[in-house]
Amino acid sequence: MLEDTTREKLPLVRRLEAIGFRAWPAATVHYDGSWLVRTTPGHGSRRLNSINPLDPHDGRDMAGRLERAARQFRDAGLVPTVRQTPLTPCALATHLDAEGWTRLSETIVMTADIPPHPASDELGHVPLRDVARFVEARIAIAGDPPESKASLTSVIEAIRAECGLFLFEEIGQGPTAVTLAVQDYDLAGLLLVAVRPDRRGEGIGRDIVGASLRWARLKGARQAWLAVEAGNGPALALYRGLGFAEAYRYVYRTPPEE
């Protein structure tokens, strides 16, 4: 049985999950009942390569469905990964525990109202139109492998909602921060937020997130969302300082042998 507090959150969780899938589209998606299976070979994002149960009451044939999804993942050279959210059936979580599926890092989904700005307030920072330049900056700042350039570019280009690609640079210093804002009706997601390690603690993260939120507000968004690892203390402090609060959490689960 779902606790009352969890049940009250489900409409918000369902909406943010749907918005999140659109904001970060996988190459291949299919449903097995209410389980959404997303795969994107060549990209390391677990969110793009995960099994996502979307109905807390749909726990039928768990072993069979897990086996079918796992076979699909392994055929694509991927590790079978369940994304366990408040929408995951309790029976499935219990089954994964019994089978020894590993819990990977916990992620917190946070939301915040986007405050209005005076009509005279200029945008300040205009988003890029050059996806290649943005991707190169993201890879340089985050230390991602260079070979991820093609897959990250393809994911960004597959986003159908309006995007704001924000890049902060300094003359002689190169890129210092990036953020991808995805505006979908009254919601805006912040993804790929990164500040160059040697420039952290200078307020650059707050500035680029603020620029992204101002852009999203002008585009019609009234609330923002983002996902951050629970162990990332500096990022949590930044987002809480900007008014973000926890909406729910999720974890990734992988088979014990993998």
Q: Are 107 and 248 in contact (CB under 8 A)?
A: no
Q: Are 112 and 245 in contact (CB under 8 A)?
A: yes
CA distance 238 to 208: 12
Average pLDDT over every residue of 203-207: 96
Contact residues for 182 (Cβ-Cβ < 8 A; gap 6+): 22, 23, 159, 161, 162, 163, 164, 188, 189, 191
Q: Is 227 within the bounds of a domain?
A: no
pLDDT in tens, 211-236: 999 999 999 999 999 999 999 999 99
Q: Is the same domain home to 97 and 147?
A: no
Tokens representing 3 are 């606790």
Which of the four pLDDT bands, split at 50, 70 and 90, describes residue 124?
A: low
pLDDT in tens, 49-73: 999 999 999 999 999 999 999 999 9
For residue 199, give the DSSP letter.
G
Q: Is 176 within the bounds of a domain?
A: yes
Amino acid at residue number 10: L
Q: Is 233 within the bounds of a domain?
A: no
* 170: Cα separation from own chain's centroid: 27
pTM: 0.93
CA distance 94 to 243: 35
Q: Is 86 within the bounds of a domain?
A: yes
Average pLDDT over every residue of 234-248: 97
Which of the four pLDDT bands, split at 50, 70 and 90, describes residue 3?
A: low
Q: Is the same domain home to 141 and 217?
A: yes
Q: Is the same domain home to 25 and 85?
A: yes
Average pLDDT over every residue of 69-92: 96
Q: Is the same domain home to 36 and 123?
A: no
Q: Is the same domain home to 8 and 76?
A: yes
CA distance 256 to 258: 5
Q: Is 182 within the bounds of a domain?
A: yes
Q: What is the DSSP string of 113-124?
A: E-----TT----
| Cα separation values, 37 from 9, 18, 203, Å | 23, 13, 38
Q: Is 226 within the bounds of a domain?
A: no
Which of the four pLDDT bands, split at 50, 70 and 90, describes residue 257?
A: confident
Q: Is the same domain home to 99 and 139?
A: no
Helix orientation angle between 90-98 and 62-75, rounded to the nearest 10 degrees? 70
Residues in the chain: 258
How many distinct structural domains can be found in the chain? Answer: 2
pLDDT at residue 120, rounded to an integer: 45
CATH no. for residue 206?
3.40.630.30
Amino acid at residue number 32: D
Q: Is the same domain home to 172 and 190?
A: yes
Q: Which domain holds residue 151?
A: 115-221
Q: Is the same domain home to 90 and 119?
A: no
pLDDT at residue 196, rounded to an integer: 96
Q: Is the same domain home to 132 and 190?
A: yes
Q: Which secondary-structure segment (H or E) carries 159?
A: none
Q: Is the same domain home to 62 and 131?
A: no
CA distance 105 to 229: 7
Q: What is the DSSP string of 89-100?
A: -HHHHHHHHHTT
* 198 pLDDT higher than 70: yes
Q: Which secondary-structure segment (H or E) carries 106?
A: strand 102-113
CA distance 93 to 115: 38
Q: Is 68 within the bounds of a domain?
A: yes
Average pLDDT over every residue of 146-160: 95
Q: Is 242 within the bounds of a domain?
A: no
Q: Is the same domain home to 143 and 89?
A: no
